[in-house]
Structure formats: structure tokens, C-alpha cells
């Protein structure tokens, strides 16, 4: 029982990383109906930027985190401008193939310049473990959960309370009507990519600190699982993406706790299929009828 409870706690911390990444997927999809499969590579690039800032420039973890998020946001906006914006009026399959191509391009660029070797992420924060009786938590885990929840709350405030957030919601409903109302659609979409990329970079740095390792292929599997989390919670719905991330994290750790660690990915995708059979729009999604 203690092992199961411990794994549930660990699942919350892992799920918070998936939730941060899933938010990027769901925001972009909600705005332009694009699955940005290069999102996992932004997560990886963010961790490498943090690695360089801490290791080479001897920055503290929190200044490096903020700067990594800012630089990754610029990378995300650049990708949207160069790769996705020219295809905005094209078919969805063309944009999807482009997203996959951008993903492979970024992976290979990072391998070319930094090699495919795994690097030890600098431990800018000394690890401490707290014994709470039947469970143990580390200061790194608490830091991950605290930063993740803070960023999710900040995102919700931006979307619900700010002028740009209102523009994002308007564009997601009808981009043409929003443009007629004076909203700069291109700027709004770029801002959405910047927000999502910043959250992914934060996740990359936090996971690097937690596992003490990074490599150019580290974004592939978390990227896919975060996409699964976004679909599971309800693609295009911000609270759904956060919920889906925590659910995926809990499923993974519980599967590991009961001795099926080799099959944890299969269990994750199996649960996704099961839930989508019951609720095709996801846990928090709404089934909308379309006129043909």
C-alpha cells in the first residue's frame, strides 16, 4: 500500500510535466486546428538552453528558467512564421506533414551540433528528501509541482483576463470574424505559439533537473504522451489538457508500481482508446454536431 501511495505522489509530479506540454498542444490546436508535432523538440531545446546557461554562463536555476522560456518562445514563433504560416490556407494533411518534418529537422540539427550523447544536466539546486511517514518527497519534486501549477494558473489568467487572451478565444471561435472586429490574427497566433513554447521549455528544464540527463531525442516520447494527454482531456480545452497530463502521469507510475513497467506505454495508449470509445471528445470535451 505504501508503494502504491508513493507512486501516486510520483505520478503527480510526472503528470505536471506532461500537463505543461499538453497545454501547448491544445492551445495551438484550439487556435488553428494544427497538431504541432515539433512541440516535443521545443521541450528538448528548452532543456539544452537551460543546460548552457547554467553550465557555461553559471546562471542560477530560476534566471536560467526564465531566459530559457523566453528564448524558446522566440524559437516557437520563428517556427510558426517560417513553417506553418505559409500553409495556413492549405489542407490539414499538408500542415501535419510539415509539423512532422519540422520535428525531424530540429532533432537532426541538435544531433549535428551537440551529438546524440546524453549529457548530465547541472544540479543547480541541491537535492533534499523529506520523509513524511508513509511517503517521501524531494525538494525537486515539490519545485516541479509548484512551478507547474503556478504556470498553469498564470496561463489561465492570461487567457481569461487579458486583452490578448480574449483575442485568442475570439480567433479560436472564428478567425475571419475576429479579423473583421480588428483583431490581428497573425499576432494572436504567434503569441499562442510563444506561450506554448515557453511552457514546454519550462517542462524540459524541470525534467532535466529531475532526471539529471538530457539528449536531442528526449522530446520524442514525452511529446507523444503529452499529445495523448491533450486528446484524453479534450483537445482544444485548456483545463482538459492539464487534467489529461496528470492522468497520464498517474497511469504510468501506477503501472510501474504493480510490476508492468515494460508495458506502461501500451497501458497509456490503451486507456486513451478506452476513454475515446466512451467519450470521443475526451474527458472534458463536448460533442459538437456539424452541419454538412
Cell representation of residue 191: 503569441
Q: What is the pLDDT of residue 18?
A: 92
Angle, nearest 10°, between helix axes 2-32 and 185-211?
160
For residue 70, give its domain range.
15-122+138-228
Residue with cell 472586429: 181
Q: What number is the average pLDDT over the span 40-66?
A: 94
Cα first-last separation, the chain: 53
Average pLDDT, the chain: 89
Q: What is the DSSP letter of 135?
A: -
Number of domains the chain is built from? 1
In a domain, 242, yes or no: no
Cα–Cα distance, 8 to 166 (Å, whole number): 36
**Is residue 4 situated within a structural domain?**
no
Strands (E), the chain: 129-131, 136-138
Cα gap 84→262, rounded to integer Å: 36
Q: Is residue 213 part of a domain?
A: yes
What is the pLDDT averaged over residues 238-265?
A: 86
Residue with cell 506532461: 18
The answer to whether residue 121 scores a pLDDT higher than 60 is yes
- Taking 80 as the threshold, does the pLDDT of residue 132 lie above it? no
What confidence category does residue 45 fall into, taking pLDDT thresholds of 50, 70 and 90? very high
CA 12 – CA 26 distance, rounded (Å): 20
Determine the pLDDT at residue 290. 45
The answer to whether residue 236 is domain-embedded is no
Apex 200 CA angle, 196 and 201, nearest 5: 120
> Quick check: is 106 in a domain?
yes
Q: What pLDDT shows up at residue 119?
A: 92
Amino acid at each position: 500500500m505504501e508503494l502504491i501511495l508513493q507512486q501516486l505522489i510520483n505520478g503527480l509530479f510526472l503528470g505536471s510535466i506532461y500537463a505543461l506540454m499538453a497545454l501547448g498542444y491544445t492551445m495551438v490546436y484550439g487556435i488553428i486546428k494544427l497538431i504541432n508535432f515539433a512541440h516535443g523538440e521545443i521541450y528538448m531545446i528548452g532543456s539544452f538552453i537551460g543546460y548552457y546557461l547554467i553550465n557555461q554562463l553559471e546562471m542560477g536555476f530560476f534566471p536560467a528558467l526564465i531566459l530559457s522560456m523566453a528564448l524558446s518562445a522566440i524559437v516557437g514563433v520563428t517556427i510558426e512564421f517560417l513553417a506553418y504560416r505559409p500553409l495556413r490556407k492549405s489542407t490539414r494533411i499538408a500542415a501535419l506533414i510539415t509539423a512532422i518534418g519540422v520535428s525531424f529537422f530540429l532533432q537532426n540539427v541538435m544531433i549535428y551540433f551537440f551529438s546524440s550523447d546524453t549529457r548530465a544536466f547541472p544540479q543547480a539546486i541541491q537535492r533534499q528528501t523529506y520523509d513524511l511517514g508513509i511517503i517521501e518527497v524531494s525538494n525537486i519534486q515539490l519545485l516541479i509541482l509548484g512551478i507547474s501549477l503556478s504556470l498553469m494558473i498564470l496561463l489561465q489568467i492570461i487567457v481569461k483576463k487579458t486583452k490578448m487572451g480574449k483575442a485568442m478565444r475570439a480567433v479560436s471561435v472564428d478567425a475571419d470574424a475576429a479579423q473583421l472586429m480588428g483583431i490581428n490574427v497573425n499576432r494572436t497566433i504567434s503569441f499562442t505559439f510563444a506561450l506554448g513554447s515557453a511552457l514546454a521549455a519550462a517542462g524540459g528544464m524541470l525534467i532535466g533537473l529531475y532526471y539529471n540527463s538530457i539528449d536531442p531525442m528526449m522530446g520524442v516520447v514525452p511529446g507523444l504522451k503529452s499529445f495523448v494527454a491533450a486528446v484524453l482531456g479534450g483537445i482544444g480545452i485548456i483545463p482538459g489538457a492539464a487534467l489529461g497530463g496528470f492522468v497520464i502521469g498517474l497511469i504510468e507510475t501506477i503501472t510501474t508500481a504493480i510490476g508492468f513497467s515494460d508495458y506502461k506505454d501500451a497501458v497509456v495508449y490503451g486507456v486513451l482508446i478506452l476513454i475515446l470509445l466512451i467519450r470521443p471528445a475526451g474527458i472534458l470535451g463536448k460533442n459538437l454536431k456539424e452541419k454538412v
